[in-house]
Structure 1
Amino acid sequence: MPDRRKFLKRAGYTTLSALLTMGFLQKDKQKEDHSTNTLAANYTSTNGNSPLRQLAAAKGKRYGAAIDGEFLQIEKDYANLLARECSIVTPNGELKWNATEPQPGKFTFESADAIANFCQKHNMELHGHTLFWYTGNPPWVPYPPTLQMIERHLTGVMGHYRNSPVLKSWDVANEIIADNENETDNATYGLRKGVKPELIRDLFKIAASVDSSKKFCINEFGIEGATWKSDRFLKMVEYLKNSGVKIDEAGIQSHLWFSTAYAFDEKGFNSVLKRLNDLGVKPRISELDIIIDTPLPDSIKKLDQMVADSYKRYLDLCFAADVDTVITWGITDRHTWIRHPDWMPAKFKNNPSMQPFLRPLPLDTNLQPKLARNAIAQAFQ
């Protein structure tokens, strides 16, 4: 499972007002909530027999999910589901620094290669996640790493997959923007403390020197609106473009919280998508899942409808801006990180009666399609 403890401290363990200032949510009581305000949409019988990968491909798009190598090996039904539904997958943790270079210069790829082999067998693409992150590192790697460490790591990992028939893209830089202005020493770009824009520039240059045949992505969370964080993220993307480095895509994670109590900042999100397109950096939805925040509905049926409505309306905005890749962070509630006891949001963890309402993914724990799955299908169509 991915190391999301710090993310949950930012999202689930903080107050609602803190979430609002971070850009996960945009509160506006005067606006209609276009994510959760109606049960009118019908997702009960939409192409249930057509794989999402097939529906997406018919429109020139791709659907995929985060994949867990451990469960891939021991749960045949889970493996079959991924093979049926996905044309692209992102490994949960198998390509992070602590998995691929646990000791300096000592590389291990057994777990990641097993996923790559699965992808090749089932005609799926593998997205490399991730080469540079503030966590998910072995204890001997500081943050930020030295350029010497970065060069050795990228040479080893990217070199191993240089000729891979399935790995076509990399998250070169992941979550480099601070959560707010108090957590950065760079007011212009908002980078995490200790990280200089020149280091990120050189990171991308080193990646291109190792293997320029892959698409390079910068991946970030909390930028789904007009916020301090999204503004700094866009400035950083512009800096990289102006520096002449190879940067092809921007991953918008979209770990989303919706509620009838506040509206989503559609205008702000549209501005983020437009700016990325204007810069020639294609947006992709890289880690999508949806939580319904309090006040919760009075039934799971209504909850599932709210989640489905949120998926459909969010993806409609994405596809209107020429997004062609959507990756959910998991495919089944059986293996969602948000249900893990270490990372479950505090308001749910402290109230067991609320926990059944954590249903963020397209299929339920029994691998049965929910309304969210059909809503995604409708959005692709």
Structure 2
Amino acid sequence: MASRAAQAQSFTPASAPDRPLAEIAQSRGFTYGCAVTAQLIAEEPQFAALVAQEAGILVPEYEAKFESLQPEAGRFDFAKLDALLSWAEHFRKPLRGHALVWHNSLPAWVPPVLAESRARAQGVMEAHFDRVLTHTRARIRDWDVVNEPVANPPGSDVPEPAGNSGDLRSTPWLRALGPDYIPMALRAARQRDATLRLTLNDYGVEADSPSAEEKRRRLLRLLRSLRDRNVPLDAVGIQAHLQMREAFNPAIFARFVRDIRALDLQVLITEMDVREVRPPVGDFVARDASVALRSHAFASAAFEGGARTLLTWGISDRWSWLHREQAVALDPGDVHRGLPYDWELNRKQMWRALARAFLGQGVG
């Protein structure tokens, strides 16, 4: 086996075409995109230019979540989402919707209202769908209808609260509506838009670990249950917030993607980035080589299994949530190098690793 240093030579500038990732991906029938925010598009011209150059599809980090769209009961605010949509349309880039039903990013008024009664909770869901899907119908053709419904097994970074049992995460929606909240949401979305791609999105299924294996089993049980009940569903999103401290087995992950595809469901990689183990500051070449190897292994396994779309959660380390969020950030003075471009907006080995994965090329 080649050494890690030798393998890294595959991800030098000469190892991939000097074309945008979206163009490289499209040449092989894949789609590459990234997450964006309205604020960055408006205030950071370098970010906007980079996204316009590299991405073929976009997803809003915040602007389509419940809290942003309906901050007060019955008062909807589409200004930021509309700004993103207009920018995306100018550059002829589709924008995914993220996310209609989620336990996070709920405004303060929602949980107590959901707790009033089942009928009240269903009414809140359907009223939100009515307004949002009507407003975005001509412009967004793929929504994460249900986000992160599967419970985290023991051993996960964020285990379920004590006393919670079953495959589903304990959320205000589950407590108000029971397990039927998922088919209820998917059917409501289909009723409002017969040709919308309905996606169920989740995380924590990528690693070669007991907790990830259990979460894969739980997600597959949920998907098979939905299929058995003829619940409308078109795609599964796998977030892919990868962590270098976790082992990864390409064969296991490719088989998991094939298992989902066998249910006649598309598979999207929706939020990919790489979180490093706390490394020594400054050893960028070695760090970037490790991140690139993991990115190539993961993307190649996803594509082998049948995924055709990959989005990263951002485009450059400079604007990544991995340094904005204290819970996942590195020590002061250092940032995760987990996106295709670095802080200075240079293409990294990760960019070239993704390019080679899209092209079906190995590491050497």
TM-score normalised to structure 2 length: 0.87
- What's 2:192 paired with? 210
- What's 1:312 paired with? 296
- Counterpart secondary structure, 1:129: strand
1:149 matched to 2:124? The reply is yes
- Gapped regions of structure 1 (runs ≥ 5): 1-31
1:271 deviation in Å? 3.1
- What's 1:334 paired with? 318
- Counterpart secondary structure, 1:40: helix
Contact 1:191–1:197 (Cα < 8 Å) also in 2? no
- What's 1:366 paired with? 344
1:68 matched to 2:37? The reply is yes
Structure 1 residues 95-140: Cα deviation after superposition (integer angstroms, max 9, x where no partner): 0011101111111111001111111111111000000110101101
- Gapped regions of structure 2 (runs ≥ 5): 115-120, 155-159, 360-364
Q: How many residues align?
A: 338
Query: Aligned letter for 1:156?
Result: R
1:47 deviation in Å? 4.0
Q: Distance in 1 between matches of 2:112 and 2:161?
A: 14
1:134 matched to 2:103? The reply is yes
1:178 matched to 2:178? The reply is no
Contact 1:134–1:144 (Cα < 8 Å) also in 2? no
- What's 2:134 paired with? 159
Structure 1 residues 75-103: Cα deviation after superposition (integer angstroms, max 9, x where no partner): 11211111111110110100001110111
- The CA RMSD measured in Å over matched residues stands at 2.3
Deviates most, 153-162 or 226-235: 226-235
- What's 1:95 paired with? 64
Query: Aligned letter for 1:122?
Result: F
Structure 1 residues 242-278: Cα deviation after superposition (integer angstroms, max 9, x where no partner): 221221111101111124xx63133432332121011
Q: Distance in 1 between matches of 2:187 and 2:167?
A: 19
- What's 2:276 paired with? 292
Question: Which structure has the higher relative contact order (CA within 8 Å, separation 6+)?
Answer: 1
1:192 deviation in Å? 2.2
1:107 matched to 2:89? The reply is no
1:186 deviation in Å? 7.0
Query: Aligned letter for 2:318?
Result: R
1:268 matched to 2:246? The reply is no
2:232 to 246, 256, 259: 246
Contact 1:64–1:328 (Cα < 8 Å) also in 2? yes
Deviates most, 87-96 or 176-185: 176-185
- Counterpart secondary structure, 1:289: strand
1:189 deviation in Å? 2.7
Question: CA 1:117 to 1:60, structure 2 compared with 1: closer, same or farther past 3 Å?
Answer: same
Question: CA 1:363 to 1:282, structure 2 compared with 1: closer, same or farther past 3 Å?
Answer: same
1:231 deviation in Å? 1.1
Contact 1:297–1:303 (Cα < 8 Å) also in 2? no
Q: Distance in 2 between matches of 1:253 and 1:277?
A: 16
Give the helix-richer structure, 1 or 2: 2
1:56 matched to 2:1? The reply is no
Question: CA 1:306 to 1:99, structure 2 compared with 1: closer, same or farther past 3 Å?
Answer: same
Query: Aligned letter for 2:95?
Result: L
1:120 to 70, 85, 89: 89
Contact 1:251–1:286 (Cα < 8 Å) also in 2? yes
Deviates most, 303-312 or 268-277: 268-277
1:180 deviation in Å? 2.3
1:342 deviation in Å? 3.2
Query: Aligned letter for 1:214?
Result: L
1:341 deviation in Å? 4.9
Query: Aligned letter for 1:76?
Result: P
TM-score normalised to structure 1 length: 0.83
Deviates most, 38-47 or 321-330: 38-47
Q: Distance in 2 between matches of 1:185 and 1:133?
A: 21
Q: Distance in 2 between matches of 1:297 and 1:303?
A: 10
Contact 1:184–1:193 (Cα < 8 Å) also in 2? no
- What's 2:362 paired with? none
Question: CA 1:365 to 1:144, structure 2 compared with 1: closer, same or farther past 3 Å?
Answer: farther
- Counterpart secondary structure, 2:101: coil
Contact 2:150–2:219 (Cα < 8 Å) also in 1? yes
Q: Distance in 2 between matches of 1:63 and 1:303?
A: 23
Question: CA 1:126 to 1:307, structure 2 compared with 1: closer, same or farther past 3 Å?
Answer: same
Query: Aligned letter for 2:12?
Result: T
Contact 1:208–1:246 (Cα < 8 Å) also in 2? yes
Query: Aligned letter for 2:324?
Result: H
Provide the identity percentage.
28
Contact 1:253–1:287 (Cα < 8 Å) also in 2? yes
